[in-house]
Amino acid sequence: MILMSAQAFPPRSGGIQTLMDGFARAAAKKNEVVVYADGDRRAAAYDQEATAPYTVRRFSGLKQWRRRNKASAIKRFCQENTVSHIVCDSWKSAELLSTDIDVPILIYAHGNEFPKDPNSSKTARIMRSLEKADHIISVSSQTALRVQAYLPHSGGPKLHVRPNPVSEPDPATDADKAFADALWPATGIRLLALCRLIDWKGIDTAVTALRQLHLKDVEAQMVIAGAGPDLERLKEIVESSGLSGHVEFAGRIEGGRKTALFDSADIYMQPGRQIGDQCEGFGITYIEAGLHRLPSISGKAGGAPDAVQDGETGLVVDGENLNEVVIALQGLIDEPDRASHMGNAAYAQAQTLLWDRQIGEVLALT
């Protein structure tokens, strides 16, 4: 039996949530999986409607009480059941776990939860949490560099660098395909951004690059799918750039509609950058785009270069340099054969990262 402890879990959206749900679904094909997750106002309805092959127990209430109750429940569960692994979505989910639990603990490390300043106020908490782990999976080489500052100089958990796996796309119905096709607001090359809308994702730069193409009379359009704190600012940029008829905000897209939207696009754009300590830990949506044979344009900050192989599965640019983004985008548009080759290479890469091909190796770590 595998027990997962997660603060980031569906119905909340984001890369960590997608990763943890994929892990649980893949592991549940050969193991009983129980997830101890945080609750929110949507969780009860989501769990009731979901057909997930794992069991979820939710914990709500004030943060400190919720975390302590979850940790106590995990200790009792391990005392009463035979648990082969405890998998934590981050160091925060391991922080309050009892040191009396005699079960291998695996902690995922994504990047932004590790301050670049190892003398931050969180340093002692992070180090105590990681000391409980047997294994830490870093989702990129850049994330591993951030983690290493918090590890003991000798002994301690083993650190592994493993790219995020992805799940097979949900089937798209004819209705899903019609929905996706209706989203595209204009004519010309189809650019897609599908992510949590946060400033360091670089979607504002993608919109500005689209405007530069229009100034050169290049026909292009964009769908921005997702939700997040940067939504209103992005809408203002689209409006002020005169792109209202060429950019569509689709909101959060899931399931077969997400599959159909990826299938209907030509290029995936997420030219991220670093803002403060925040940047892309890996970029699971680049791999998801690859499942649909889309070449990606990513930024060079953080772990994105681990997800997008520059010149092979897409183009890696300086997300703070608009000219680089425009040149990369123009190049893929002007050389469709090259873009197609990159899309095929992205598909081949994504196939190796399917959860069904990765879960055995991950579980074998412990």
Pick the CATH number of 2-162 from 3.40.50.2000, 3.30.70.100, 3.30.56.10, 1.20.58.2240: 3.40.50.2000
Place of tokens 């699971």: 284
**CA dist list (Å): 14 to 44, 309, 339, 359:** 19, 22, 27, 20
CB-based burial label for 31 (10 Å; 0-12, 13-18, 19+) = middle
Task: Give domain limits for the chain.
Answer: 2-162, 174-352
Give strand pairing partners of 108: 137
Reported as a single tens digit per residue, the pLDDT across 251-300 is 999 999 999 999 999 999 999 999 999 999 999 999 999 999 999 999 99
Quote the crossing angle between the two packed helices 203-215 and 231-240, to the nearest 10°.
10
Q: What is the pLDDT along the chain (366 residues), one digit of tens a residue?
A: 999 999 999 998 899 999 999 999 999 999 999 999 998 888 888 888 778 899 999 999 999 999 999 999 999 999 999 999 999 999 999 999 999 999 999 999 999 999 988 788 899 999 999 999 999 999 999 999 999 999 987 778 999 999 999 999 999 999 999 999 999 999 999 999 999 999 999 999 999 999 999 999 999 999 999 999 999 999 999 999 999 999 999 999 999 999 999 999 999 999 999 999 999 999 999 999 999 999 999 999 999 999 999 999 999 999 999 999 999 999 999 999 999 999 999 999 999 999 999 999 999 987
Pick the CATH number of 174-352 from 1.20.910.10, 3.30.70.60, 3.40.50.2000, 1.10.10.10: 3.40.50.2000
2-162 and 174-352 in the same fold: yes
Q: Which residues contact 74 (CB under 8 A, 6 or more apart)?
A: 3, 5, 36, 86, 97, 98, 101
Taking the CB of residue 127, how many other CB atoms lie within 10 A of it? 16
